[in-house]
Chain A
Amino acid sequence: MTNAFPDQPSTGLVRGSLNRSATSPRTVFSRVMTILAFVCGILALLPLLAVLSYVILQGFSSLSLSLFTELPPPPLVPGGGFANAIVGTLIMVGLGAVISIPVGVLAAIYLTEFSSGSLSRGIRFATNVLSGVPSIIAGVFAYGIVVATTHTYSAVAGGASLSILMLPIIVRTTDESLQLVSQDLRQASVGLGATNFQTVSQVVLPAAIPAIVTGTTLAIARASGETAPLLFTALFSQNWTNTLFAPTASLAVLVYNFATSPFKNQQSLAWAASLILVLLVLLTSVIARWATSRKAY
């Protein structure tokens, strides 16, 4: 090797050329690892792409306006839709949200603002455990509490089981977002003579709202796709339900029932319902992203 800097006295260290050689072990290693990481990245994306494209391919052909207006058909009858299942899903997710959002947000406010030490550690731990509870257990619980006491499968029971699944997500995201609100702001508010309620409602919550919205939409997205807890709380219905205390149809359970049925029309309805469900979840996720990207102020 020639000395790349002839003006400098030789130090005894062998200095390589500043040019990169395409065949040096370091370059080759770097290339191989980059390609490997890229392939793994694609592999991780593959299941999502496969599921999405398969659902779109299968479901798109059976999309029609009647899906949103008509009731599920009996076997061997062509056409039909799942209007009652869409409404049922919205009602039950709505019920779940109405139960879990106030409880979850207030619990998180208690955790960050008013509690400390072992009690809050205990509550946080319990919330983490709850978020790991399999969804079918939430269903069994709602069955035991609501279905067994009201003696009927119902939208209320379905909503209750979904709220159990949504609660830990809401508590955790709200808790984390409230902790991110700067202590300086709280002190400024308290220093001006604000009560605890005024500080939380006028300073802390507004600053954390985007993150709270994100957490709630994620919880809603998760709940709208849940099947297991609805199977034995809301059951299913071929008809419109006029009361919250009767078996209620939902998209997820419709997919479960119809996808395994031997009848062609019901199978294609199941694909269409899957597509609608995926789109619903996608839509809520996009809303959640949009809410986080917006700063509150």
Chain B
Amino acid sequence: MATHIQDANQTDAVLRTEGLNVYYGKFLALRDIWLNIPKNKVTAFIGPSGCGKSTLLRCYNRLNDLIESFRAEGKVFYYDENLYAPNVDPVEVRRRIGMVFQRPNPFPKSIYENVAFGPRLNGYKGNMDELVERSLKQAALWDEAKDKLRQSGLSLSGGQQQRLCIARAIATQPDVILMDEPCSALDPISTLRVEDLLHELKEQYTILIVTHNMQQASRVSDMTAFFNVQTSEKGDRSGYLVEYDRTERIFQDPQQEATKEYVSGKFG
């Protein structure tokens, strides 16, 4: 493990990977990841396509379990519990660590039901109307949606749908929110609204965001991890962590040549 990554890893971590290797079948997709995610900060994962940043994101809520050939070696800690220990229930993990996907994917239900879906799964006993309102307000969607809570979530625009998905993730009151390129399907104005939202949300939540957009990473994140792909002699491409540091250092004073080239737009 390189020293600069060690420095950045000194903080109190909510999520921590120790020597994580990810395989799809025999193919090594991610190699030897050591990464500490600090609490109540936005951490961005950047890197060229195929470098495994989405794969790593999905390791944190065990969503990769849905892929049959997936196999993880090493450890992923959530506080001091190893998420891949045999006695860990992935359903419980996902209730603590929420997720927002690349394409907005509201359920074909009403706006209200979309937000209430997660809390209902958890057997939420409190005032559901209040929780829905609070979640929609936190996702900055309340003003636009308050008069049509009974309408289908699919009747909203793309940007609104994505904020609905954020509200839906918030409603389960998670600790951590994982975002997998949440703005890649949105127009610039909707993107800015979601980015503003991230600044407010990080007061309460730890946020991880995968993005292809470097300006976005520099705008929204406190920490940035840069991943790259290495092609082996046999032609297998596996991703690895190149550099992890405070965002301004990654963008202004990167320590690695590959990072410098990537953030200055020379490749990727």
Contact = CB atoms under 8 A, between A and B. Distances in A.
B259 interface: no
Nearest to B62: A190
Indicate the member of A116, A185, A187, A203 with the most B CB atoms within 10 Å.
A187
Contact of A193 (B66, B101, B108, B122): B122
A135 B46 CA distance: 61
A202 interface: yes
B169 A192 contact: yes
Interface in A18-73: none
Given A191-B61, A191-B63, A194-B121, A184 B94 contact: no
B66 A297 contact: no
Given A116-B68, A187-B63, A297-B152, A192 B105 contact: no
Contacts of B95: 192-193
Contacts of B99: 187, 191-192
Interface in B104-121: 105-109, 117-118, 121
A191 B117 contact: no
B38 interface: no
A203 B165 CA distance: 15
B154 A191 contact: no
Nearest to A295: B108
Contacts of A198: 121
A203 B113 CA distance: 12
A67 B99 CA distance: 63
Contact of B105 (A184, A193, A195, A202): A184
B44 to A, nearest CB: 20
Interface string B92-106: 111100110101011
Nearest to A188: B105
A189 interface: yes
A247 to B, nearest CB: 48
A116 B68 CA distance: 9
Given A185-B107, A188-B105, A193 B172 contact: yes
Contact of B92 (A185, A190, A193): A193
B88 interface: no
Given A193-B95, A203-B107, A297 B154 contact: yes
Interface string B141-184: 00000000000101000000000010011001000000000000
Contacts of B94: 190-193
Nearest to A198: B121
A106 interface: no
A192 B121 contact: yes
Contacts of A206: 108
B101 A192 contact: no
Contacts of A189: 107, 117
A222 B63 CA distance: 42
A207 interface: yes
Interface of B: 61, 63, 66, 68, 91-95, 98-99, 101, 103, 105-109, 117-118, 121-122, 152, 154, 165, 168-169, 172
